[in-house]
């Protein structure tokens, strides 16, 4: 390949391009087709029409993404159950002055337990190779 450098950029001559196109015969056809489509104006018949959007098919989406949907549902249900359990547990706690439970403290503790669960799940997925190594090393 005959290339020369100009300001640390490699430039190719037209002969180099012809040589590369001769080595790969199908490349020239696709290149010419895409350039002509790009440079030519759109047809007047199809210019005003919009492409039809494919209809959403729920059964197809469920079949393709079943594992993701089930994991997401389990994840959301677990977070909601933990938050509800913490809210119920701290609903009987009284403040120092004997007044009723502080709603903000209850919500903060519920969010804290959900944050603990989410952090643990993140660490399990990130450290899966480390956990596998520790299982193998175990005596």
pLDDT in tens, 79-114: 999 999 999 998 888 878 878 888 888 999 999 999
Q: Is the pLDDT of residue 1 over 80?
A: no
- Domains of the chain, by residue range, sit at 11-41, 84-139
- In this predicted structure, what is the pLDDT of residue 120? 93
Element (H, E) at 10: strand 9-12
Phi, psi (degrees; rounded to nearest 5) at 120: -65, -45
d(CA 100, CA 66): 45
Q: Is the pLDDT of residue 45 over 70?
A: no
3-class state of residue 94 by DSSP = coil
3-class state of residue 6 by DSSP = strand
Stronger pLDDT, 135 or 20, i.e. the higher one = 135
Phi, psi (degrees; rounded to nearest 5) at 4: -125, 155
d(CA 2, CA 8): 16
Q: What tokens were used for 31?
A: 């290149």
pLDDT in tens, 2-44: 555 555 566 777 788 788 778 877 776 666 666 666 666 766 6
Q: Which residue has the tokens 């949907």?
A: 69
- In this predicted structure, what is the pLDDT of residue 119? 95
Stronger pLDDT, 3 or 121, i.e. the higher one = 121
Please give the model's pTM, rounded to 2 decimal places. Answer: 0.53
d(CA 36, CA 27): 14
């Amino acid at each position: 390949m005959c290339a020369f450098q100009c300001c640390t950029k490699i430039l190719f001559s037209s002969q180099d391009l012809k040589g590369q196109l001769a080595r790969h015969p199908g490349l020239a056809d696709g290149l010419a087709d895409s350039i002509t489509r790009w440079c030519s104006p759109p047809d007047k018949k199809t210019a005003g029409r919009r492409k039809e959007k494919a209809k959403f098919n729920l059964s197809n989406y469920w079949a393709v993404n079943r594992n993701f949907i089930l994991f997401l549902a389990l994840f959301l249900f677990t977070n909601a159950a933990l938050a509800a359990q913490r809210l119920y547990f701290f609903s009987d706690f009284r403040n120092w002055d004997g007044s009723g439970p502080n709603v903000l403290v209850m919500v903060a503790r519920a969010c804290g337990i959900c944050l603990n669960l989410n952090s643990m799940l993140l660490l399990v997925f990130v450290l899966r190779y480390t956990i596998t190594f520790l299982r193998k090393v175990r005596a």
